[in-house]
Amino acid sequence: MNRQKRILMAMSGGLDSSVAAILLQKMGYEIIGITMKLWTYDDNSLSNNKSCCDIDAMNDAREVAVQLNIPHYVLDFTEPFKNIVIQNFLDEYLHARTPNPCILCNIHLKWNALVEKAAELNCDYIATGHYATIRKENDRYFVSKSKDIKKDQSYVLWGLTQEHLAKTMFPLGDYTKEEIREIAKNMGFNRIANKRESYDICFIPDNNYRNFLQQQVPQLERLCPPGNFINTSGEIIGTHKGYPFYTIGQRKGLVIALGTPKYVCRINAQTNEITLGDKEDLLSDTLTIKQYNLMKYAEIPPDFTGQTKIRYKDKGQLASIIYQDKDCIKIKFQSPVSAITAGQSAVIYEENDIVAGGIIDLV
């Protein structure tokens, strides 16, 4: 007799992962809940504000597990999270780039840890509460957009490998957020159903990354002192507070009056200069990605055109995708796009399916 399939369910204590566990259990799977502790919560260098991953969230995850009568474990990943995700976050800003820590965490920490723990606990799959689906064609696994396009999270999953995807389930992919909320209410999880959603970076719940940089890098002012704002002609027009405090496309908080709205167009760490320009100066039609991951195809098809997103909420624009070499893919947009930002991710879609994704390098 075949044993019941066992799933390692990543549980954050929020609505989505809780209902994902409920759905899998109703489908007849044996569920083991796991919550990842990503930092020391009494660390005074981190914000004390509530986040999606704080101690209360861990307690909520345990409470749901108790109600579902499933085992629940907490994995302490504070050290690797600090060494991999937070250190990269700091390094990128110090090099005038804008990181996306959630994507890095997925690629280098969460999935590796979950797959390893699943093997240890003799689980057949891992599952998360992401709004996305997984498809398989021609012996290739790939992420596809969820039913609820407004909540779709496929963009942050571009880095998952074939090995990861073969062992992963996304139970929420065929549901809308409201359907998930109704399931929670119908199952008696009213408090979970009404929990506030978190949109912030988990280790910066107050969404003030500038304060976080100052807390984590005591020598920040010495490393990145104030420098010059320049215009697109190279003329000095003011003084900035330190280039890590600015991002491409930023308009507010520049503390400079030039008569018309200006935007951060370029950040040069070597010269310690920030270029301000008009909205049109943010437009560009070319970028390259490195550290990329191929998903739907083992190779980029010849003369391939795909819908490419350069940020999470981006609708995407058609672009020609040109394979350069094993380290680099060039993306040429059919129409210029605004505020391409080094350190962010570009994700290439064929209709709803992810073809590839990578870190924006040259812009």
Please write the tens of the pLDDT for every residue from 102-123: 999 998 889 999 999 999 999 9
Max Cα-Cα span within the chain = 77
292 and 273 in a single domain? The answer is no
Task: Please give the Cα distance from 340 to 343 (Å, whole number).
Answer: 10
Residues 185 and 330 in one domain: no
Same domain, 113 and 11: yes
Q: Is 0.85 surpassed by the pTM of this model?
A: yes
In 3D, which of 336, 9, 73, 65 has the Cα closest to residue 189?
A: 65
Number of domains in the chain: 3
CA nearest neighbour of 362 among 295, 293, 266: 266
pLDDT at 42 over 70: no
Q: Check residue 281 and give left, alpha or beta (phi > 0: left; psi -120 to 50: alpha).
A: alpha
Burial label for 44, CB within 10 Å (0-12, 13-18, 19+), is exposed
Identified catalytic residue from 105, 123, 224, 265: 105
Whether 265 is a known active-site residue: answer no
Across 251-274, average pLDDT: 95
Q: Supply the pLDDT for residue 234.
A: 96
Instruction: Quote the pLDDT of residue 184.
Output: 95
Q: Which domain holds residue 347?
A: 282-360
Backbone angles phi, psi at 76, to 5 degrees: -90, 105
What one-letter code names the amino acid at 111? W
Same-domain check for residues 54 and 177? yes
The answer on 347 and 250 residing in a single domain is no
Residue 77 has pLDDT above 80, yes or no: yes
pLDDT in tens, 331-349: 999 999 999 999 999 999 9
Contacts of 125 (CB under 8 A, 6+ apart): 5, 7, 8, 118, 167, 168, 169
Catalytic residue among 53, 102, 123, 202: 202
Please indicate, yes or no, if residue 93 is contained in any of the structural domains.
yes
Q: What are phi and psi of 221, to 5 degrees?
A: -65, -35
Same domain, 189 and 44: yes
pLDDT value, residue 196: 77
* pLDDT of 262 strictly over 60: yes
The answer to whether residue 146 is domain-embedded is: no
Q: What is the CA radius of gyration of the chain?
A: 22
